[in-house]
């Protein structure tokens, strides 16, 4: 184990790399990424300079939502390997100094989970049904759903079963919501955490962390309703995270959890990271912001205001497997990639933990997956007009044609014909590639940000730019349309995301780090 414990917990200022397991590396040639594939590519991630990886769900699942529909929380889906493959991958990661966090999906199970099978076989009002949210319908014969809640993926949040009752699913109908008012559900999920902690994982990413509890009277939603919402962010959820925090703390090695909590306000977001709750919560404000210096400034100010309420440290996220890739969001093409690099360099200068999504380091853009090949249930239920498949296309590793070294089989989603220049192999051979830029940025981050203060000082800067100082590190990002003057305090240039930093000026679509004068 190369991992050592220092005074600050490892996760506080880490760079965590999200691995979308089915799209990272295919070790067995079936066209789907797997744990063996991940293990083989871990040296690449060590060389890139990430501190930790987050693995999306690899548990047995019918894969209706690509693993976010778990049928067995304590095993590995044969599609992705075995528990022995998991243990081997974890050991290799730790040998390379990389921590591993895994996804836990507590809001819902798969409809193929044994509990749901039991619930369907049992009578209304039975203990087996009480693990989920079953209700009688409304209307004369109960033919209408119990209320008007809609699924995040589109359509009603209720599905009827043959005996006439309805069950709640805030996502797909194959993802029935668990009933967190039931103690058995608590005991089960606590035990699931223990199972993976005992295997040695360093932490968890908690899916739909603001879900879990629904107000028991299931009040209907009114048009234009604002928070508080009867199905999200209920106060009781924090008791779960207090207990999980104690559980995490009962293990050695700074085990942690990061919440995917889409809470409506900065105050609500901060509640998930109170000192006795989870260590981190994803901060999605940057991911939602346009390419704009003013917007970036607001993200940074608001984030510090939010985490400051509870004395927490921030997280920063530009991309993940649920959203359009940032190079495309920022306009696409060479300018989009340049902007994505600039945004990443800005994020990496900030205190706290940065989350990268696989392929971000290659400057991948969103892929236009043909509609008939799209697999995302949110596309098929109508909530996502394009679907989320376009950011989930497998990683290009090497070679000139698909599947670009992803594996030997036909990849589960088609890979674009023009990715030869974007492969890891091609970019490793090119000093000016996006990959080499990320490598340099992560290395420099390790060198120059150690010991820097956890606060930043915003600097006055030219129109169209955003600049801040953290100790003696100065970061400037230029989102304007013309070359802009750098702040006087920007001294020696340490790293720039593009060529245009010279003579005291910075070009558009560029960010740079400087040593303060």
Task: Give DSSP secondary structure letters for 465-512.
Answer: EEEEEETTEEEEEE-SSS-EEPPTTEEEEEEESSS-EETTEE-TTEEE
Taking CB under 6 A as the criterion, the residue among 207, 254, 365, 509 binding ligand NOJ is 207
> Reduced to 3 states, what is the DSSP secondary structure of residue 357?
strand
* 208 vs 273, beta carbon nearer ligand NOJ: 208
Q: Which of 178, 208, 448, 486 binds ligand NOJ (CB under 6 A)?
A: 208
Nearest C-alpha neighbor of 413 from the set 394, 387, 438, 434: 394
CA distance to 82, 330, 394, per residue, from 409 (Å): 20, 33, 12
To 10 degrees, what angle do helices 83-95 and 35-48 make? 10
The answer to whether residue 65 forms part of the interface with ligand NOJ (CB under 6 A) is yes
Clarify whether 65 is annotated catalytic: no
For ligand NOJ, the closer of residues 15 and 317 by Cβ is: 317
- Phi (first) and psi of residue 296, to 5 degrees: -65, -40
* Residue window 167-206: x/- pattern of binding to ligand NOJ, with contact defined by CB under 6 A: ----x-----------------------------------
Min separation Cβ 487 and ligand NOJ, Å: 38
Q: Which residue of the set 103, 207, 326, 389 is catalytic?
A: 207
Per the listing, tokens 């890739």 go with 325
Cβ neighbours around 413 below 10 Å, total: 20
> Per-residue contact track with ligand NOJ, 113 to 152, x per CB under 6 A?
----------------------------------------
Closest CA to 328 of 337, 319, 320, 315: 337
CA distance 278 to 310: 12
For ligand NOJ, which is the closer residue by CB, 51 or 260? 260
Q: Which C-beta is closer to ligand NOJ: that of 254 or that of 389?
A: 389
Partners of 475 in the β-ladder: 468, 513
Would residue 365 show up in a list of annotated catalytic residues for this protein? no
Site string for ligand NOJ, 78-117 (x = CB under 6 A): ---------------------------x------------
Closer to ligand NOJ by CB, 211 or 351: give it.
211
Catalytic residue chosen out of the listed positions 177, 260, 360, 389: 260
Catalytic residues: 207, 260
Residues that bind ligand NOJ (CB under 6 A): 65, 68, 105, 171, 207-208, 260, 321-322
């Amino acid at each position: 184990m190369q991992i050592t414990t220092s005074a600050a917990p490892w996760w506080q200022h880490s760079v965590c790399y999200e691995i979308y397991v089915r799209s990272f590396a295919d070790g067995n040639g079936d066209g789907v990424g797997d744990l063996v594939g991940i293990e083989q590519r871990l040296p690449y991630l060590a060389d890139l300079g990430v501190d930790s990886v987050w693995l999306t769900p690899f548990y047995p699942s019918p894969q209706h939502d690509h693993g976010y529909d778990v049928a067995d929380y304590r095993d590995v889906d044969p599609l992705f390997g075995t528990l022995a493959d998991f243990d081997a991958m974890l050991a290799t990661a730790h040998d390379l100094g990389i921590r591993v966090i895994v996804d836990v999906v507590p809001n819902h199970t798969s409809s193929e989970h044994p509990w749901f099978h039991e619930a369907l076989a049992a009578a209304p009002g039975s203990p087996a049904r009480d693990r989920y949210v079953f209700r009688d319908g409304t209307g004369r014969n109960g033919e209408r759903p119990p209320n008007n809640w809609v699924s995040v993926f589109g359509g009603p949040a209720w599905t009827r079963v043959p005996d006439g009752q309805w069950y709640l699913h805030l996502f797909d109908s194959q993802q029935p919501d668990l009933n967190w008012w039931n103690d058995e559900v608590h005991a089960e999920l606590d035990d699931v955490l223990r199972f993976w902690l005992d295997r040695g994982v360093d932490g968890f990413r908690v899916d739909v962390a603001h879900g879990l509890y629904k107000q028991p009277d299931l009040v209907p939603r009114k048009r234009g309703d604002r928070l508080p919402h009867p199905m999200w962010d209920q106060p009781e959820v924090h008791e779960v995270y207090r207990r999980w925090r104690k559980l995490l703390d009962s293990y050695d090695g700074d085990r942690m959890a990061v919440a995917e909590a889409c809470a409506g306000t900065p105050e609500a977001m901060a509640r998930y990271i109170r000192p006795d709750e989870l260590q981190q919560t994803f901060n999605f404000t940057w991911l939602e912001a346009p390419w704009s210096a003013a917007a970036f400034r607001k993200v940074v100010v608001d984030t510090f205001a939010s985490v400051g309420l509870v004395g927490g440290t921030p997280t920063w996220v530009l991309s993940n497997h649920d959203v359009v890739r940032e190079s495309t969001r920022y306009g696409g093409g060479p300018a989009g990639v340049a902007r994505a690099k600039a945004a990443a360099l800005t994020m990496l200068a900030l205190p706290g933990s940065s989350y990268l999504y696989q392929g971000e380091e290659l400057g991948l853009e969103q892929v236009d997956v043909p509609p008939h090949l799209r697999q995302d249930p949110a596309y098929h239920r109508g909530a996502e007009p394009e679907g989320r498949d376009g950011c989930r296309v497998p990683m290009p590793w090497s070679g000139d044609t698909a599947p670009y070294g992803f594996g030997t089989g036909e990849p589960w989603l088609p890979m674009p014909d023009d990715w030869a220049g974007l492969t890891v192999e091609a970019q490793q051979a090119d000093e000016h590639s996006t990959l080499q830029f990320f490598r340099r940025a992560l290395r420099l981050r390790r060198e120059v940000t150690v010991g820097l203060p956890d606060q930043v000082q915003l600097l006055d800067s030219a129109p169209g730019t955003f600049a801040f100082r953290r100790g003696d590190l100065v970061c400037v990002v230029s989102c304007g349309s013309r070359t802009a003057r750098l702040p006087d305090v920007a001294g020696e240039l340490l790293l720039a995301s593009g060529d245009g930093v010279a003579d005291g000026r910075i070009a558009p679509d560029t960010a740079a780090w400087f040593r303060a004068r």
